[in-house]
Amino acid sequence: MLKQSRPRFDQATIPNDLCPIGTELITMLPGDWRSERPVVDRDKCVKCATCWLLCPVQCIVEMAAWFDISYDSCKGCGICATECPHNAIAMIIETEG
């Protein structure tokens, strides 16, 4: 990945009489919001990147021969499964299978 953001500044340089905000990133991950999870059929995926393009959370990761999903941050909206031109993604209810 090509880093775009600049390095975060050294917090030790903040004077003691200032209360800094926004110096750390939010670490919450929304993966546990899901009621359904997308599962990629590796044989059907043709790497067209449509899922990556339309995933609101941008949790699609590229593998050698297919695109996969990072379940840490996937909210389970199902847009990838709806938009996949080759029906390679299925939504599975979390409590089943």
Partner 1 sequence: MGIGHNTIAFHQDKCDGCGDCMTVCAEAKSGTTDTQHSRLKIVPSVAANDSFELAMCRQCGDPKCVLNCPSGSLTKDHETGVVPWDQEKCVDCLLCTVGCAYGGITYNAAAGHVMKCDMCDGDPACVKSCPTGALEYNKSAEIYNNYGELEDLFVPGLAACQGCNSELLIRHTMRKIGSNVVVATPPGCIAGMGTVGFNGKTGSKIPVFHPLLTNTASMLAGAKRYYNRIGRDVTMVALAGDGGTVDAGFQSLSGAAERGEQMLYICVDNEGYMNTGMQRSGSTSFGSWTSTTPVGETLRGKTQDAKNMPVIMMMHNCEYVATASLAFMDDYYEKLDKATAAAERGLAYLHVYSPCPTGWRIPPESTNEVCRKAVETNFATLWEFTPDEGLRFTRPVDNPLPVEQYLNLSGKYRHLDDEQLTHIQNSVKRKVAFLNGFMLATSGSEAQMQ
Q: Residues in contact with partner 1, total (CB under 8 A)? A: 53
Strand partners, 62: 67
Asked if residue 29 binds partner 1 (CB under 8 A), the reply is yes
Check residue 39 for interaction with partner 1 (CB under 8 A): no
For residues 34 and 54, give the distance between their C-alpha atoms in angstroms, rounded to a whole number: 18
Question: Distance of alpha carbon 8 from its chain centroid, rounded?
Answer: 22
Dihedral sign (CA 71, 77, 53, 84): positive
Does residue number 93 form part of the binding site for partner 1 (CB under 8 A)? no
Q: Any contact of residue 69 with partner 1 (CB under 8 A)?
A: no
Q: Which residues bind partner 1 (CB under 8 A)?
A: 1-6, 21-30, 33, 42-50, 52-59, 62, 64-67, 70, 72-73, 75-79, 81-83, 85-86, 91
